[in-house]
Structure 1
């Protein structure tokens, strides 16, 4: 079954296999100078060889037998025509690295070594230094090629598993947040709403029998509902009140789960004086760490909180892949990345700024700068 983008689980795109068939022009040219019977025989053998090659590139099932068949065909070509046909072993070499298990790889590599030894012995290449200089390097490359392909395939599998792990971490984090909200709502509002229900039922019964008592119960329901509304506001406020210090602890857990190390440096004595700045920087830190986990493929992430004259700086740096596609100007950043735009919009509330630096294979650096002004205090004074 093919994957999205035309790729199959067992190897590179199928079209890639046709590229190398261009080199068949050389044996065709060689056959054209031979007698007609050898020409027909050579073309027929080439058709069989190409069929085995394309089949083994296309299908994982039976690939071992296709590879062994190709090596057998290479032996027929070399013993039947010329030792230079040993270069045909380049075709099955990458396919050996695509075999599903070590046992099949060992069998194929053994067959290839036996083929090389037989060709060297039959043509006594060990007595011809020129032939050795020409063929031995190519043989070594053909022997190493399966291991290179295997290593690349393993690296691709590891990247896919890492992406799945990162997605699972994000999903579990969301589920945990939903469960926490559910517990808080149940514990905070469960008793209050039950009390309102009971008083409503009691009021319904007292309306005709004892109106004055019913009026008092209605007043109690109003007081209780206002208390419930206050509890909801406090709960929502508690959900949104993300702080930098708390978010740093949360970031360490997320990065550790993703296999990313974390370094921290803080020049703060305690919490940030302004709750609004504390909340905004905490949300920006959460977004930054989420991007590191999802996209950077970093091994280390560093978070720094620095106090300058009249300003507070938060720096988030990683040693991941980075990118050359995002410009350093703030306008182009916000246009190309919703995450950066969201962080910049938050920082506008406290007259803060965001600087983005990134380069391919050199990591990414985010610099958040905010003035140390207590916005909530100023607003309270102005209202007074």
Structure 2
């Protein structure tokens, strides 16, 4: 319930916004206190009704237009009976007009506001009081502009939300298309090869007793075919649009700058662009992990700065992403490794025996450290991760 007071609605600001403005009723209350008791007995109940109608109209879209015109009527009543200064109460229905979604209702409410202004100016003969009119003019201009500014702000938020949804849908469709492409390529590339290996293996099994020499030749053919299949897989992987650590560091600069977060290349952890590129598979996995970690910083950390460390260690590679954000929320998300992309990082890094360590301190930020070992065969051939 308490959170709902501060949750922005689709029409406008949070409900708490309406209660904050009730503080300014202190001015008409002060004016009524100085008046005779008879006027107070009439003025205070009407002012209480004004506040109730304002709040109800704020939270009930169906009766909002009706509430606005009732507030207009009470403003005219106060201005006619007591003082033209009560025209400032129009600041209450003004933002409510901006929350109207129907253009005809908006036009009717704006027209009603102009009628209120004209009626008060005419009744108080303000055209003869240039000083009083000059005092009211800026306030009236702001009251007229406020509905349009709120409407523009709501449209901007709606367009932004639609853009985010569109980008997410594009990303989802792109992933599905990439999966289908990989599936087709694997089927077309490896289907025939694996079928051939199966057939030759079955043939070699049958020939072992009858014709050992022919069976040995079939086994050699299987070996050659399997090497060809391995080469095809490598070509397929290299043909993908692989993500690299260097590319993701450049991308991180852009996304962090757009979010107002300062990027630092952390020298203490080896943020070095001269680090030799790891094997393509490791480079791809680390790049995807870096992208996920930076995305978490932008979405969840509320940080002002983010430090990215990238370098070699005696035993492998080290990638770190550290922010100065809230820490506590990040710790809760990373606690069991099942949320916020942490589990996805771990699943990827299992392929290369990599590890993810998440450290979060309340109010001091979160650090994600990723280590990948460099494993080489004793024969001096390709590393195990290549």
Residue 235 of structure 1: aligned partner: 233
What is the count of residue pairs matched by the alignment?
Answer: 293
Classify the secondary structure of the residue corresponding to 1:344.
Answer: strand
Q: Which structure 2 residues correspond to residues 358-373 of structure 1 after superposition, within 5 A?
A: none
User: TM-score with structure 2 length normalisation?
Assistant: 0.62
What 5-or-longer segments of structure 2 have no aligned partner?
Answer: 272-289, 295-305, 320-379, 382-386
Are 2:258 and 1:224 aligned? no
Instruction: Say whether the 8 Å CA contact 2:265–2:309 is kept in structure 1.
Output: no
Classify the secondary structure of the residue corresponding to 1:100.
Answer: coil
Residue 366 of structure 1: aligned partner: none
**Superimposed CA distance per residue, residues 186-217 of structure 1 (whole angstroms, 9 cap, x where no aligned partner):** 0011122333455567778x58xx94269956
TM-aligned CA distance change 1:91 to 1:349, over 3 Å? farther
Tell me how far 1:132 sits from its aligned partner.
0.7
**Superimposed CA distance per residue, residues 18-47 of structure 1 (whole angstroms, 9 cap, x where no aligned partner):** 111111111111111223332132221122
Q: In 2, distance between residues paired with 1:346 and 1:181?
A: 31
Instruction: Say whether the 8 Å CA contact 1:97–1:149 is kept in structure 2.
Output: yes
Q: Which structure 2 residues correspond to residues 80-99 of structure 1 after superposition, within 5 A?
A: 80-99=81-100
Are 2:284 and 1:323 aligned? no
Residue 338 of structure 2: aligned partner: none
Instruction: Say whether the 8 Å CA contact 1:196–1:224 is kept in structure 2.
Output: yes
TM-aligned CA distance change 1:25 to 1:75, over 3 Å? same
Tell me how far 1:229 sits from its aligned partner.
5.4
Tell me how far 1:125 sits from its aligned partner.
0.9
Instruction: Say whether the 8 Å CA contact 1:284–1:343 is kept in structure 2.
Output: no
What 5-or-longer segments of structure 1 have no aligned partner?
Answer: 248-278, 297-318, 354-378
TM-aligned CA distance change 1:134 to 1:228, over 3 Å? same
Q: Which structure 2 residues correspond to residues 265-284 of structure 1 after superposition, within 5 A?
A: 283-284=244-245
TM-aligned CA distance change 1:28 to 1:76, over 3 Å? same
Residue 175 of structure 2: aligned partner: 174
Q: Which structure 2 residues correspond to residues 1-384 of structure 1 after superposition, within 5 A?
A: 6-198=7-199, 211-212=209-210, 216=214, 220=218, 223-224=221-222, 227-228=225-226, 230-240=228-238, 283-284=244-245, 286-287=247-248, 291=252, 295=255, 320=258, 322-324=260-262, 326-327=263-264, 329-331=266-268, 338-339=293-294, 344-345=310-311
Classify the secondary structure of the residue corresponding to 1:227.
Answer: helix
Tell me how far 1:328 sits from its aligned partner.
5.3
Tell me how far 1:241 sits from its aligned partner.
5.7
**Bigger Cα displacement from structure 2, 95-104 vs 190-199:** 190-199
Q: In 2, distance between residues paired with 1:15 and 1:333?
A: 48
Instruction: Say whether the 8 Å CA contact 2:32–2:40 is kept in structure 1.
Output: yes
TM-aligned CA distance change 1:14 to 1:333, over 3 Å? farther
